[in-house]
């Protein structure tokens, strides 16, 4: 993924999310080289901060980025950071009229609840 992609004004959250998902999966395949998760985390944090500054927290792409960042933080062992984000997602979904969600939103909501459950008892070392 090109480094300048996320710094452009035309960042497409959906396309960017696909790249970030790929980074997470590549990291899962290459456990001995943990750089993919770190790169994905850095990119997601930058974009999330940009969306926060633009007050775009209710966008579907924002929720998806938060969910992916939560997964990355969980995989890297940053359980407290992941818990803060997943709680933010739960609040966002509570504030959203669930009847207006499409199937993708429902899936993201379920994934959020699964991550929340996983964080309630982190893996033992």
Regarding the domain delimited by 3-120, which CATH topology (the fold level of the hierarchy) does it fall under?
Answer: 1.25.40
pLDDT tens for each residue of 21-49: 665 655 555 555 567 778 888 888 888 88
pLDDT in tens, 76-103: 889 999 999 999 999 988 888 767 788 8
125 token code pair: 């070392």
pTM (2 decimals)?
0.70
| 101-111 per-residue burial string, b: 16 or more CB within 10 A, e: under 16 | eeeebeebbeb
Residue carrying the six token digits 């982190």: 122
Contact 23, 1 (CB under 8 A): yes
Ordered by start, the domain boundaries in the chain are 3-120
């Amino acid at each position: 993924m090109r480094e300048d992609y996320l710094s452009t004004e035309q960042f497409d959250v959906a396309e960017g999310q696909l790249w970030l998902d790929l980074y997470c999966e590549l990291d899962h395949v290459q456990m001995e080289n943990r750089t993919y998760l770190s790169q994905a985390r850095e990119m997601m944090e930058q974009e999330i901060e940009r969306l926060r500054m633009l007050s775009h927290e209710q966008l579907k792409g924002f929720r998806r980025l938060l969910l992916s960042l939560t997964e990355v933080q969980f995989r890297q062992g940053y359980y407290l950071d992941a818990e803060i984000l997943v709680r933010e997602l739960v609040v966002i979904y509570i504030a959203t009229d669930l009847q207006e969600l499409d199937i993708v939103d429902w899936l993201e909501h379920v994934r959020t609840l699964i991550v929340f459950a996983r964080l309630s008892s982190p893996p033992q070392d």
